[in-house]
Structure 1
Amino acid sequence: MSETTDRRPARPRRDRRPIIPLVFLLVLAVLALGVWWNVFRDAAATDREAAAACSSAAQAPPSLDPSTVELRVLNATSTAGLAQTVATTMQSRGFVVTEFANDPTGREVTGVGELRFGPRGAEAARYTELFLPGATEYQDTRATAVVDLVVGPDFTELATPEDVAAALTPAASASAAC
């Protein structure tokens, strides 16, 4: 006797689903994406650091020859002879001091001092500021490149040549990197 069933015969499994290889490929793709993400992030950070170094090099004080900087040393304190002492020191460091006197302008100077200059003397004033750290800047309308170094009430001493050289060293290395 033969029996008939309503069941179909089992089909051979030819179309197996490759789940394990697909998961493996997906994990590899995620890892590759992570690696490239880090590469691009590091490259962007390097570019930002280089841009920051170049902008700080542009803002760094210029390294000038002191003999090209013409100064007037003015005393805005009640200490007699301070302008002459500072002028002598600046001359010994190679600056051209054309005059030393009491401050004739009557401007109130606070802190260690003030550097007064015109548009042509801006670079020389930034260089001179290395010798009088903490001095404020005052740009006026003078047509010459002469810088007025005005000694203020909190002045104690000028920066040492070693301090000035140390301040110029990072600027030189930063500008060389650009």
Structure 2
Amino acid sequence: MTERTVQPPVRPRSGRRPLPPLAFLLVLALAAGAVWWTVLREDQERRAEAAEECAAAEEPPPSLDPAAVSVRVFNATDEGGLAQTVADELAARGFTISEVANDPTTREVEGAGEVRHGSPGRDAARFLGVYAPGVSFYPDTRATAVVDLVIGPEFTGVAPPEEVEAALTAPEDAPAEC
């Protein structure tokens, strides 16, 4: 007699296609790559800015004619009239004041304030920074040499002439991060 072998039943196809899960994984990988690229690029920009600040700290601020520096003074505090007071003091020292107003940006200003400038106004910003002790420098993309002095909550006033003269003749100490 012939023996029959029992074959397992054929399993029906499930009808699932691997395409949707693969597409999902591809989109997920692209999103992860985009996040990674953004973080890497921002880190490179931060390092470049830090290197520029360190290089700038090694040389003394340029000594410019204040009349050649165009300044916009903005108040980023709750104290009314502070921008006008500072603008009057800077004008008395010879600076060209082009605008006085509250800070038009939504940027949060901490400490003594910020000096915002474009690449053409880098030297003017460093020169103005001598007159506003404690401010930080914020480079932006403007194409003009106009410099913004944004007064922060810890601003104590324009530096006395003796301090300005001393700062313009002596080189600054490099920041600890350099």
TM range, normalised to the smaller chain?
Answer: 0.5 to 0.7
Q: 2:115 maps to what in 1?
A: 115
- Calculate the TM-score normalised by the size of structure 2: 0.63
In structure 1, distance between residues paired with 2:106 and 2:84: 19
Residue 131 of structure 2 aligns to which amino acid in structure 1?
F
Q: Scaled by the length of structure 1, what TM-score is found?
A: 0.63
| Equivalent position SS for 1:97 | strand
Does 2:60 correspond to 1:60?
yes
1:87 aligns with 2:87: yes
**Equivalent AA in structure 1 for residue 167 of structure 2:** A
CA distance in 2, matches of 1:155, 1:106: 19
Counterpart of 1:154 in 2: which secondary structure? coil
Aligned pairs for 1:15-164 (under 5 A) are: 59-164=59-164
**Partners of 2:142 and 2:70 in 1: how far apart?**
14
Q: Partners of 2:57 and 2:104 in 1: how far apart?
A: 36
Residue type matched to 1:80 in 2?
G
Question: How many pairs does the alignment contain?
Answer: 117
2: CA distance, partners of 1:75 / 1:146 = 17
Distance in 1 between residues matched to 2:76 and 2:57, nearest whole Å: 33
Deviations 1:120-144 (A, max 9, x none): 0000000000011110111000010
> Which 5+ residue runs of structure 2 have no aligned equivalent?
1-54, 172-178
- The gaps in structure 1 that reach 5 residues or longer are 1-54, 172-178
The residue identity in structure 2 corresponding to 1:75 is N
RMSD (Å) for aligned C-alpha atoms: 1.6
Measured in 1, the distance between the counterparts of 2:157 and 2:57 equals 27
Structure of larger gyration radius? 1
Q: Name the SS for the 2:145 alignment partner.
A: coil
> Cα distance, 1:167 vs. partner?
1.0
After TM superposition, what 4+ stretches of structure 1 lie above 2 angstroms from structure 2?
55-58
Return closer, same or farther for 1:97/1:56 CA change in 2, 3 Å cut-off: closer
Deviation at 1:170, TM superposition (A): 2.2
How much identity, in percent, do the aligned residues show? Answer: 57
Is the Cα–Cα contact under 8 Å of residues 60 and 169 in structure 2 kept in the other structure? no
Q: Secondary structure at the match of 1:129?
A: helix
**Matched residue of 1:141: which SS?**
coil
Per the alignment, do residues 56 and 86 of structure 1 end up closer, same or farther by CA in structure 2, a change over 3 Å counting? closer
Quote the offset at 1:165 in angstroms: 0.3
What SS class does the counterpart of residue 98 from structure 2 fall into? strand
